[in-house]
Amino acid sequence: MATSLGANTYNRQNWEDADFPILCQTCLGENPYIRMTKEKYGKECKICARPFTVFRWCPGTRMRFKKTEACQTCSKIKNVCQTCLLDLEYGLPIQVRDTGLSIKDDVPKSDVNKEYYTQNMEREIGNSDGTRPVGLLGKAPSSSDMLLKLARTTPYYKRNRPHICSFWVKGECKRGEECPYRHEKPTDPDDPLADQNIKDRYYGINDPVADKLLKRASTMPRLDTPEDKSITTLYVGGLGDSITDSELRNHFYQFGEIRTTTIVQRQQCAFIQFATRQAAELAAEKSFNKLIINGRRLNVKWGRSQGEGGRRDGRGGKDGRGEGLTEMGLKLEPVPGLPGALPPPPVDEDTPTNYFNLGPNSAPPVMNISLPPPPGVAMPPPPGFGPPMFHSMDPMGMPPPMGMRPPGHVHYPSQDPQRMGAHASRHGGS
């Protein structure tokens, strides 16, 4: 260390001495009994470059040793872990958290401004009760839907695994199972996650992990508020047969006055109309992808204005409904995997449309349909079901010719009764 303990006592007053680190559950490990080593003024903070007390410990079996990387002042300013620099509440990078809370905390990066900023934040931390963050983070809203969806609910202990053995990658590791490092194939060096910087993570810029999470958040489904302010109706789908009108009212009445509730049992959906637009927006925000009643996850969307359905408006449909719209004016999502509609046949004036090669003056074919006979008159049997014109076998045992056989009758020599009788008599005589 450049500064000795006997010189520059002013700077030594700003050195940090702590009794226990500020850690997240993942970095602390799953073992409730842990042994730490404490080194007073062991290293300088990688953010503010001030000496601080370094803690070192092993989070579990077959895990690598971990240590604190930033001082507690920098940790309290951003409300992050001293080791991984992830948010203590959501377990997300600082860039993702600030984007979800719509805050932009520009921490100075020059030495003089950084020291002045740190002293002011230490004074603010000393005057606070320690239950809430300081600075812009303490004035931000309490939560965000995007952060709640992206937040990690359980510790990710896999992050504490040892690093990959470089000797094993080169085929030169001779330790075998006793090697404390992982014998696995490394990831692609072109992978952006392979290049991470601790300062970029703290300042919330150029963080590849944050970029990956923000891209995931952009692809998540969201509910857009319609521009028409007269729409105060919400569509609730997937009701099933067990959810009643009173159960829907018990959930939605907390957001505002409900004007009407309509359940369409045939389509297993409902329409909740609020008295004000503000109540409808609040209900849509709090219920989208979150509403569960009687163990069923319900789908909440905005309804459509009455002027968009019921009359022809140039978008197709006899009753004014466009393509893919239901009777209630709701737009249906296309089902993936189904073939599209067949195109109409091409119409060409030069191409003839006489598909059956009929003459221009030929009359259409007329079918002879006989009328039923009057009562009391026997109706002749249809062809093939009357009495046979010829006997099936002549006296000599020969079948009639093929042209003289009655229709529907086929002669099988193997089933000839006379032949079978003769066969049986021969066996009886023998």
Once rounded to an integer, what is the mean pLDDT over residues 273-292?
88
Q: Is the pLDDT of residue 6 over 60?
A: no
How high is the pLDDT of residue 349? 62
- The ranges of the chain annotated as CATH 3.30.70.330 are 233-302
Least confident of 73-77, 218-222, 284-288, 352-356: 352-356
Question: Tell me: domain 233-302, CATH 3.30.70.360, correct?
Answer: no
Which residues does 404 contact at the CB level (< 8 Å), separation at least 6?
389, 390
How high is the pLDDT of residue 152? 83
Tell me the C-alpha distance between 22 and 409, whole Å: 98
Whether the CB-CB separation of 245 and 128 falls below 8 Å is answered with: no
How high is the pLDDT of residue 167? 93
Which residues does 208 contact at the CB level (< 8 Å), separation at least 6?
192, 193, 195, 196
Residue 261 tokens read as: 């509730």
Once rounded to an integer, what is the mean pLDDT over residues 70-95?
91
Rounded (5°) CA angle 282-283-284: 90
Whether the CB-CB separation of 163 and 169 falls below 8 Å is answered with: no
Q: Is the pLDDT of residue 180 over 70?
A: yes
- Mean pLDDT, the chain, whole residue set: 77
How high is the pLDDT of residue 291? 85
How high is the pLDDT of residue 68? 95
How high is the pLDDT of residue 183? 92
Q: Is the pLDDT of residue 426 over 50?
A: no
Q: Is the pLDDT of residue 66 over 90?
A: yes
Q: Is the pLDDT of residue 271 over 50?
A: yes
How high is the pLDDT of residue 312? 37
How high is the pLDDT of residue 196? 85
Regarding pTM above 0.95, the answer is no
